Amino acid sequence: MGFETSDDAGVFKINDSVALIQTLDFLTPVTDSPYEFGQIAAANSLSDVYAMGGKPLTAMNIVCFPSEDLDENILSETLQGGIDKINEAGATLVGGHSVDDKEFKYGLSVTGLVHPEKFLVNKGAEKGDALILTKPVGTGILATAVKAGLADEKSTREMVETMSMLNRYAAEIMVDFRISACTDVTGFGLAGHLLEMAKGSKKNIVLFTEKVPVISSAKEFALMGMVPAGAYKNKKFCAPGVSVNPEIDKILLDLMFDPQTSGGLILSMRPGDASSCIDIMKDKGIRAEIIGEVRDNDHCGTLTII
Ligand code: CO
Ligand code: CO
């Protein structure tokens, strides 16, 4: 598979029944707890395999650590968080590499397996499809509030739980449905990843802002100015392909562009399937909602935010 639609991972066909999915990602700390940071970074790295419709097989640690400034325990707790998520994903840690660096960074290189005819891509969304999002947005805003020392215990918990949750559970449910396009929400924000899907599919995607699940305190912190610079960068970068209803609440719009770490999956599927899929996901405790639809009124790929 080529690079032209900036998909989540590389796919390499081994034979008629097996293809490899390969991806890597690493982050700077997003919480004060090294163990939780390890869990979040691993869940984030594993996510691209799920977004391609595959199963993670092996993982390798990527570590940049300032050994002169930080205690060794910070590293071992981070790695433990990572191992626990790798195990939860049913994958095996097979190695890794660490270097000395001024700023701490951790992540994984992940190899997964998929049938060469069954992997999912971020293009191919069909006219009339409903779009499902499987996690609430707002983690970028929350992380900014945490860094500023403003987030309370409850908001911090909700952020950590959202980011450390594996997309495995949503992915295991989605395989029973016909998915026409799939990706995960990360640095470009929900709107940015939807625009990618629209462009790849050469369709118009309509995003219903009021339907998007949001971490409860994210709006509050956004009102206090805790919107990360990345959200404005995303908004500016996407502007040529996006039209926005001028009546939309400005804060809600910022949330649509909030860069996410380890965000949910976006699934494009027939509307009838989408409602059954949502019901099953909700039963399993996944905060999934139908947040948009695919229309066919252009051929270049655009996003309409209403
Ligand atoms: Co991705
Ligand atoms: Co990625």
Q: Which ligand is nearest to the CA of 45?
A: 2
C-beta of residue 253 within 8 angstroms of C-beta of residue 209: yes
Helices 189-201 & 250-257 angle (0-180, nearest 10): 70
Fold classification of 3-114 is 60s Ribosomal Protein L30; Chain: A; (3.30.1330)
CATH for 130-305, options being 3.40.710.10, 3.60.110.10, 3.90.650.10, 3.40.50.11260: 3.90.650.10
Provide the residue ranges of all domains of the chain, joining segments of one domain with +. 3-114, 130-305
In one-letter notation, the amino acid at residue 137 is V
Residue 3 has pLDDT above 60, yes or no: no
Task: Give the residue from 44, 4, 5, 7 showing the smallest Cα distance to 24.
Answer: 44
pLDDT in tens, 24-56: 999 999 999 999 999 999 999 999 999 999 999
Q: How many angstroms does the Cα of residue 73 sit away from the middle of ligand 1?
A: 30
C-beta of residue 277 within 8 angstroms of C-beta of residue 285: no
pLDDT, mean over the chain = 95
Q: How many angstroms does the Cα of residue 190 sit away from the middle of ligand 2?
A: 14
Q: How many angstroms does the Cα of residue 51 sit away from the middle of ligand 1?
A: 7
Q: How many angstroms does the Cα of residue 203 sit away from the middle of ligand 2?
A: 23
pLDDT band at 6 (very low <50, low <70, confident <90, very high): low
pLDDT in tens, 97-125: 999 999 999 999 999 999 999 999 999 99
Q: Provide the percentage of residues in the chain whose pLDDT is more than 70.
A: 98
Cα–Cα distance measured from residue 46 to residue 60, given in angstroms and rounded to the nearest whole number: 11
Half-sphere exposure of 129 (CA within 13 A, CB side): 26
Q: How many angstroms does the Cα of residue 254 sit away from the middle of ligand 2?
A: 22
Q: How many angstroms does the Cα of residue 198 sit away from the middle of ligand 2?
A: 18
DSSP state of 240: G
pLDDT, position 4: 59
For residue 197, CA distances in Å to 183, 201, 267 come to: 8, 6, 10
DSSP state of 182: E
pTM: 0.95
**Cβ-based burial of 47 (10 A; exposed 0-12, middle 13-18, buried ≥19):** buried
Identify the three-state secondary structure at position 165.
coil
Q: Provide the percentage of residues in the chain whose pLDDT is more than 90.
A: 94
DSSP state of 282: H
In one-letter notation, the amino acid at residue 140 is G
Q: How many angstroms does the Cα of residue 246 sit away from the middle of ligand 2?
A: 32
